[in-house]
Amino acid sequence: MISGVSDNFRVFNQPVSNVSVTGAKAVAAESAPALPADTLTKSKSDSSARLIPKSLFCSTAAKTEETASASAVTTNSVSSWQAKWGPQVIYFPLTDRFSDGDPSNNFNVDKNNPTAYHGGDLRGVINNLDYIKGLGATCLWVAPMYDNADKVRMGDYEGTGYHGYWITDHYKVDEHQGTINDAKELVSKAHEKGMKVVLDTVLNHVAPNHPWVNDPSKHDWFHHNGGIQNWDDPWQLENRDVCGLPDLNQSNPEVYKYLLDNTLWWVKETGADGIRLDAIKHVDHQFWQKFCADIKKEMGDDFMILGEALHGDPNVVSGYMRDGMDSCFDMPLYYTIRDTIGKDGSAREIGKRFAEDSKYPDASKMVTLLDNHDFERFMNNTNNSRGEDKLKLGMDLIMTCRGIPSVYYGDETAMVGGGDPDNRRDMEFGTKPHITEHLQKLTSTRAAMPALQFGQQMEMWQDDQIYAFCRRHEGQECITVLNNSYDHQTRNIPLREGSPLHNGDVMVDVLTGDKFTVNNNCLNIGTADKQGRVLVPEKDYGNIQFKK
C-alpha cells in the first residue's frame, strides 16, 4: 500500500463505484456520471452497470496535484523475486500422459486402462521442450519424479502411481519416467532454452505399500487416526489419511528433517528453480512456517515456493502465503471463472472476486489457472455451449490479469475430460490449431508488455455481461474487455484517473487487429458474443513477436 493512501483504494483491483480520489486519499463520491444513451445495448440489466465517477476520468488538461497523486498509485516497484517470476507462464505436462520418448521404459503399460501407466516419460518432455516454449510457456512444472507404486488397492479403487503422488522411494526416479540423469538433463536443457523448472513435491503422505508403513521403527512417523470423515474439519484434514494414503507426522523432528533434506536433494541434484507443494491444507501451518524458512535460507529469497490449497476462500489460501510460500494457486479465482465464463454466470462475479485481492499478502504472485489434474477439464464445464469460445475467453482473462498464468497440458488443444482419471487423458497434439494460435497471441503479448507482467490492476467496467480492467506499469497501459454474454455488446468505457492514454491515442486488439481511438477520455468498444479484447497501445503493438 502506498503511504498515505486509504485502504479503500485497492492497489491491484480497485472497485470504482462510489470511489473518488482527492489528493492521495480515497473518499466517497457523491454520484456517478449520467449514462450516455448509446453506451449500453442488449440487456435491461445493463442499466445497473458500475461506472467510473467523473473525478476518476482521465483529463487531457495539465495534471493537477490530484491527478498526480492518483498516478502515483499506479507506479510499481518490482522486487527481484517479481522480476524473476512475474514474466513467467507455467506449463504442466503430466509426464505419464504427455509423450513417450523412450519405449524401453514402458513397463506394464496399458493405454486402455485410465489408472495404469501409459508410457509418457521424462524423455518425452525433453523432446517437446521446443513445443512447450513455442506455446509461449517459460516455466515447466514437472510432475513428481519419485519412485511410485506399481499397483495399489485402496478400498474399491485399484490403480498405479502413474501420476507421481504415491511415493515408495523418495530418492529414486520412477523407472517408468527414466533416470536421475534424465531429470538433470530435463532441467539443464530447459535452462538452455531460457525456461525455468519447478518440481512437484509431496510431503503429506506416502503410498500404502511404502516400506515405512510396516516398519515398527517408523511407527511414530505417521498419524494413526484413520481416514478423513469431515472435510470441513481442519484438524482432520491435517491429521488423518487422505483417501487411504498413510498420513505423515510432520511434527516428528525425524520426519521433518527427512522431508527437508529430501526436498533440498532433489532441488540441488537437478538444479531446479522452485518447488510446487502438494496438498498443503493437509499439513499444519507450523510445519510450513519452518519448512519455507529453511528452504529459503538454503536456496535464497528468489527461489519459488508455490503451494496448492484446493479451497475457494481467499482467507484460507492466503494463510499459506503468510506461512512463507511465495505463491499459491488462485483456486478462488478458478472457481469464479468456472461459474461465470464456464457456466454463463454474471460477469460481476469476476469483479467481486478481484475485490478480495487485499486478503492476500501480494495478489500479483498468485498462480492463475483454468484447469488442473484434480478437476474436470474446463471444456467439460461449459453447459455444453460454446465451449471453445469460453475457453478462449478464460485464457484472455488469466493471461492478462494480475498473477502468474499456468496452462495444463491439452488446454492449448481444447482437450475434454471428466473427473480423475478422465481429466488425465493422453496428450492430443495439434488437434485444434485455432485454440493454440489464440493462446500464442496471448503469451506473445504478455511477453512484450511489462504492464501485463508487473502492472497494477484496476477495474474499468462491471455489469452482468461485460467486465473490463486495465494494467499499468511505468507509463504503459493495457486493457482487457470480456464479453460473457451471447449477444454483441458495446460499452463506452471511461479511462481511469492517471491513465497515460490521451484523446487521439490508438489501442490495438491483439486478437483481431481491430483499432480503437480514445475519444472524450473514453474507449467505445464493441465486442462479439463470448469475445474478449486485449488492447495494447499502437506504439507498443509492433514490439510483439507473435509465435507461430
Whole-prediction pTM value? 0.88
Q: How many CB atoms lie within 10 A of CB 333?
A: 28
Query: For residue 496, what is the DSSP state?
Result: P
Task: Identify the three-state secondary structure at position 194.
Answer: coil
Q: Quick one: pLDDT at residue 76?
A: 54
d(CA 260, CA 203): 9
CB 487 within 8 Å of CB 42: yes
Q: How many CB atoms lie within 10 A of CB 28?
A: 9
Backbone angles phi, psi at 108, to 5 degrees: 55, 40
Which is it for the CA torsion 305, 309, 314, 320, positive or negative? Answer: negative
Concerning whether 344 is annotated as a catalytic residue, the answer is no
| Helix (H) or strand (E) segment spanning residue 333 | helix 331-337
Which is it for the CA torsion 309, 311, 314, 319, positive or negative? Answer: negative
Calculate the alpha carbon distances from 164 to 115, 264, 482 in Å.
12, 18, 37
d(CA 394, CA 162): 29
Start-to-end CA distance of the chain, whole Å, equals: 40
C-alpha cell at 342: 464456464
pLDDT tens readout for residues 37-56: 333 333 333 434 444 333 33
| Helix (H) or strand (E) segment spanning residue 527 | strand 522-527
d(CA 349, CA 355): 10
CB 12 within 8 Å of CB 457: yes
CB 206 within 8 Å of CB 166: yes
Which is it for the CA torsion 334, 330, 535, 27, positive or negative? Answer: positive
d(CA 303, CA 324): 12
Cα angle vertex 540, ends 536, 542, to 5°? 110
d(CA 362, CA 318): 9
DSSP 216-236: GGGGGGB--S-B-S-TT-HHH
What are the DSSP E strand ranges found in 358-517? 367-368, 404-408, 456-462, 466-473, 476-483, 489-494, 506-509, 515-517
Closest to 307 measured CA to CA, from 317, 296, 316, 299: 317
Among candidate residues 150, 278, 412, 505, the one labeled active-site is 278
Percent of the chain residues topping a pLDDT of 70: 86
Concerning whether 278 is annotated as a catalytic residue, the answer is yes
Query: For residue 89, what is the DSSP state?
Result: -
Query: For residue 470, what is the DSSP state?
Result: E
Task: Identify the three-state secondary structure at position 539.
Answer: helix
Domains by residue range for the chain, with CATH: 20-78+459-541 (2.60.40.1180)
Backbone angles phi, psi at 411, to 5 degrees: -60, -35
Q: How many CB atoms lie within 10 A of CB 169?
A: 14
Calculate the alpha carbon distances from 48 to 43, 340, 344, 507 in Å.
10, 18, 18, 27
Closest to 8 measured CA to CA, from 79, 76, 73: 73
pLDDT in tens, the chain (548 residues): 222 222 222 333 333 332 322 222 222 222 233 333 333 333 333 434 444 333 333 322 222 222 222 322 333 579 999 999 999 999 999 999 999 999 999 999 999 999 999 999 999 999 999 999 999 999 999 999 999 999 888 877 889 999 999 999 999 999 999 999 999 999 999 999 999 999 999 999 999 999 999 999 999 999 999 999 999 999 999 999 999 999 999 999 999 999 999 999 999 999 999 999 999 999 999 999 999 999 999 999 999 999 999 999 999 999 999 999 999 999 999 999 999 999 999 999 999 999 999 999 999 999 999 999 999 999 999 998 999 999 999 999 999 999 999 999 999 999 999 999 999 999 999 999 999 999 999 999 999 999 999 999 999 999 999 999 999 999 999 999 999 999 999 999 999 999 999 999 999 999 999 999 999 999 999 999 999 999 999 999 999 999 87
C-alpha cell at 366: 498468485
Among candidate residues 102, 200, 308, 357, the one labeled active-site is 308
Burial of 215 (C-beta count, 10 Å sphere; 0-12/13-18/19+): exposed
Q: How many CB atoms lie within 10 A of CB 213?
A: 15
Bridge partner residues of 332 (DSSP): none
